[in-house]
Amino acid sequence: MAKCIAFSQSVTPAESVLVEREVIILGGGLAGISTAVNLLKHGIKATLVEQRPFLGGRAFSFRDRFSGEEIDNGQHVILGVCNEFLQLLSDLGTRNEIELGGSLDVPVAFKGKVTNLRANRFFGNAFALVRYSHLSISDRISVARLLVKLKLHLVDTNQSIDASAVSFAEWLSFQGQSQAAIERFWSLFILPVFNCHVDEVAAEDAIEFTRIALLGSARETAIGYPRTDLSSLIGTPASQFMRENGIEVKMGARVSSISKSKSGVFEVALSSGEKLRCRNVVSALNPKSIASVLPTSDKSLAAMKTALTSFEYSPIVAVHLWYEKPVMVERVLAFVDLGLQWVFNDSALRNTSNNSTQHIVISLSGADEWAMLTKTDVLHRITSSMRVAFPLANTVDIVNSTVVKTLDATIKIKPGSRRLRFLQNTDVSGFYFAGDWTDTGLPATMEGAVLSGKTVADLVVRRL
Ligand SMILES: Cc1cc2nc3c(=O)[nH]c(=O)nc-3n(C[C@H](O)[C@H](O)[C@H](O)COP(=O)(O)OP(=O)(O)OC[C@H]3O[C@@H](n4cnc5c(N)ncnc54)[C@H](O)[C@@H]3O)c2cc1C
């Protein structure tokens, strides 16, 4: 088996650390954590390198300095079909911290009226539309018909209109879906899942997602919410897992460069000056970070560098509001209008409702326009919409607010993006990619990140 030597550059031999490792994982987000956990299942203890002082990557929480509460960088939601993510949580011992319903059941607000999109346990989502009064009867029939045709593979996705070349909105229009159906049904799911608007997202990817998730079994379509903050769900238990299982984690360790010798040994340089050598390197960094540390000297690695810079990114803006008294009854409410998208009653989801204040999170995906506004303007617009959406918000004071903008929240999956996404295996022997942006067949999500790590672990094991 290939071995990795990690040593510090300190001059005094007494200070140098000599550790034998087979695999180095760069990046301690979900993809890196999943790689480490899955390698361990094959008896391999990797070394994981993370620049920040905690694990979890883009799914993390922090202490809000005004409220003193641990809050998430943005609301994270899953579907019942996210089996790999749920399995990882089981491995980390936090699976019970996800509240997962038996099937899809979402209240949707439009023009001041709320109606539920509720999947039929036996007949699935096409029947969720029967009582969905935000659409006319003819639109409901039209959407249900397309869902059934997609489920039965009766739509030739390449006939007349090439699904790999157009946006989902274009494709839906071609399939006879009205603007109302696109805005009040399809966008509800596609925008938050892809973090991209229907008129940007690639039709072929949205179709695949619809088949896997929206048209799965009742359980697979159920929405899952964390009952705790993201760091307690992922990062903290992951650190503990690594510690208890002898997986070395170098926290606060930024990778500054990677090179490969003629003998096939990789050298990973950290900004501290430490150098790690190994025959197997898994990059679980985002494309921008990995592009910045790959060498120009090695031809194959340099070629990747250019391709890694071709991705476009989409922002997410999360608005946290604390009302002095409760203003929202529902646990979650999706909005078709008012620009609110999805509103989460964090106090109810985390079962902290007995505090007198109510913590609400408004999650804005595909938020290019929101991201350009100042935080004050974002707050002004959102609080105005909240007053229209929740009458009580007109009489209850907001005691605290925080706006979190994540500019590079996920890659955009636009027509043609599929060919940009890298396979986990590369032409460079011993070098692998993991991450939500790699080619997993899924949107850039937690499930995709975890799946990519599991795929990489299998590839590494086959090579060793
Ligand atoms: C606000 C927000 C809301 C979201 N909502 C959802 C949701 O509802 N559902 C869902 O499924 N997904 C959601 N996502 C997406 C989800 O968070 C990501 O898909 C997932 O966390 C990506 O994991 P990853 O491991 O691929 O990448 P990352 O989490 O980005 O991990 C990369 C890691 O590499 C580290 N790193 C970078 N450069 C270096 C370096 N030079 N040296 C060492 N370490 C380095 C980073 O610090 C990071 O920890 C959301 C994302 C955001 C930002």
Residue-wise pLDDT for 123-159, tens only, equals: 556 567 778 999 999 999 999 899 988 988 888 766 6
Task: Answer whether residue 122 shows pLDDT above 60.
Answer: no
Q: Is 52 contained in some domain? A: yes
DSSP string, 219-280: HHH-EEEESS-HIIIIIHHHHHHHHHTT-EEETT--EEEEEE-TTS-EEEEETTS-EEEESE
Listed in order, strand segments (DSSP E) in 78-147 are 78-79, 98-100, 105-110, 113-118
| 390 CA distance to ligand 1 middle (Å) | 32
DSSP string, 358-379: EEEEEEE-S-HHHHHS-HHHHH
Say yes or no: CB of residue 285 within 6 Å of ligand 1.
yes
In angstroms, rounded to a whole number, what is the distance separating the alpha carbons of residues 288 and 271? 17
In angstroms, rounded to a whole number, what is the distance separating the alpha carbons of residues 103 and 126? 13
Residue whose CA is at the smallest distance from ligand 1 atom 37: 285
Query: Relative to the CA of 253, which ligand 1 atom is closest?
Result: 43
**What is the total count of domains within the chain?**
3
Query: Relative to the CA of 293, which ligand 1 atom is closest?
Result: 41
pLDDT 10s digits, 314-354:
999 999 999 999 999 999 999 999 999 999 999 999 988 66
Question: Half-sphere exposure of 110 toward its Cβ, with a 13 Å CA cutoff?
Answer: 16
Q: Give mean pLDDT, residues 427-435.
A: 95
Residue 290 φ then ψ, to 5°? -70, -35
Query: Looking at residue 188, which CATH number applies to its domain?
Result: 1.10.405
pLDDT 10s digits, 332-343:
999 999 999 999
Q: Are residues 404 and 343 in the same domain?
A: yes
Q: Is 77 contained in some domain? A: no
pLDDT at position 22, please? 87
Give Cα 254 distance to the centre of its chain: 22
In angstroms, rounded to a whole number, what is the distance separating the alpha carbons of residues 338 and 245? 49
Query: Looking at residue 434, which CATH number applies to its domain?
Result: 3.50.50.60
Between the CA atoms of 245, 248, 251 and 256, what dihedral angle is there, to the nearest 10 degrees?
A: -150
Residue whose CA is at the smallest distance from ligand 1 atom 48: 57
Q: Are residues 353 and 407 in the same domain?
A: yes
In angstroms, rounded to a whole number, what is the distance separating the alpha carbons of residues 213 and 401? 34
**Is residue 382 a contact partner of residue 168, using CB atoms and an 8 Å limit?**
no
Span of 254-258, 292-296, 353-357 with lowest mean pLDDT: 353-357
3-state secondary structure of 74: coil
Test site for ligand 1: of 48, 49, 76, 242, most ligand atoms within 8 A of the Cβ: 76
Say yes or no: CB of residue 31 within 6 Å of ligand 1.
yes
pLDDT 10s digits, 3-49:
444 433 333 333 333 334 689 999 999 999 999 999 999 999 999 99
**Is residue 342 a contact partner of residue 75, using CB atoms and an 8 Å limit?**
yes
| 134 CA distance to ligand 1 middle (Å) | 35
Listed in order, strand segments (DSSP E) in 2-95 are 4-7, 19-21, 23-26, 47-49, 61-63, 70-72, 78-79
Give Cα 326 distance to the centre of its chain: 29
| 9 CA distance to ligand 1 middle (Å) | 30
Give Cα 38 distance to the centre of its chain: 19
Q: Are residues 323 and 305 in the same domain?
A: no
Last residue of a domain, one of 221, 252, 274: 221
**Is residue 343 a contact partner of residue 361, using CB atoms and an 8 Å limit?**
yes
Give Cα 446 distance to the centre of its chain: 4
Q: Are residues 243 and 320 in the same domain?
A: no
Q: Are residues 197 and 343 in the same domain?
A: no
| 276 CA distance to ligand 1 middle (Å) | 24
**Is residue 440 a contact partner of residue 71, using CB atoms and an 8 Å limit?**
no
Q: Is 437 contained in some domain? A: yes
Q: Are residues 111 and 216 in the same domain?
A: yes
Query: Looking at residue 407, which CATH number applies to its domain?
Result: 3.90.660.10
Q: Are residues 301 and 426 in the same domain?
A: yes
Instruction: Give the range of the structural domain holding residue 344, as residue numbers without chain letter.
Output: 313-411
Q: Is 75 contained in some domain? A: no
Q: Are residues 306 and 236 in the same domain?
A: yes
The secondary structure of residue 120, as a DSSP letter, is: B
Test site for ligand 1: of 58, 270, 274, 421, most ligand atoms within 8 A of the Cβ: 58
Q: Are residues 127 and 140 in the same domain?
A: yes
Q: Are residues 378 and 398 in the same domain?
A: yes
| 165 CA distance to ligand 1 middle (Å) | 28
Say yes or no: CB of residue 366 within 6 Å of ligand 1.
no
* CA 81 to each of CA 213, 266, 405, 446: distance values in angstroms, whole numbers, following the listed order: 6, 37, 28, 12
Say yes or no: CB of residue 341 within 6 Å of ligand 1.
no
In angstroms, rounded to a whole number, what is the distance separating the alpha carbons of residues 81 and 89? 14
Say yes or no: CB of residue 249 within 6 Å of ligand 1.
no
pLDDT at position 126, please? 59
Query: Relative to the CA of 270, which ligand 1 atom is closest?
Result: 42
Q: Is 82 contained in some domain? A: no
Last residue of a domain, one of 193, 221, 249: 221
Task: Answer whether residue 313 shows pLDDT above 50.
Answer: yes
Q: Is 178 contained in some domain? A: yes
**Is residue 146 a contact partner of residue 206, using CB atoms and an 8 Å limit?**
no
| 448 CA distance to ligand 1 middle (Å) | 11
Chain-wide mean pLDDT for the chain?
Answer: 91
3-state secondary structure of 327: coil
Q: Is 93 contained in some domain? A: no
| 57 CA distance to ligand 1 middle (Å) | 4
Residue whose CA is at the smallest distance from ligand 1 atom 51: 409
Say yes or no: CB of residue 445 within 6 Å of ligand 1.
yes
Test site for ligand 1: of 446, 450, 452, 456, most ligand atoms within 8 A of the Cβ: 446
Say yes or no: CB of residue 71 within 6 Å of ligand 1.
no
pLDDT 10s digits, 204-247:
999 999 998 888 888 898 999 999 999 999 999 999 999 999 99
Beta bridge partner(s), residue 115: 108
Q: Is 80 contained in some domain? A: no
Q: Are residues 257 and 375 in the same domain?
A: no
Residue whose CA is at the smallest distance from ligand 1 atom 10: 445
Last residue of a domain, one of 370, 386, 411: 411
pTM: 0.94
| 105 CA distance to ligand 1 middle (Å) | 28
pLDDT at position 219, please? 87
* CA 109 to each of CA 87, 134, 333, 388: distance values in angstroms, whole numbers, following the listed order: 33, 8, 7, 12
Span of 134-148, 156-170, 280-294, 426-440 with lowest mean pLDDT: 156-170
Q: Are residues 151 and 127 in the same domain?
A: yes
Test site for ligand 1: of 55, 81, 285, 403, most ligand atoms within 8 A of the Cβ: 285
Residue whose CA is at the smallest distance from ligand 1 atom 38: 289
pLDDT at position 5, please? 44
| 29 CA distance to ligand 1 middle (Å) | 5
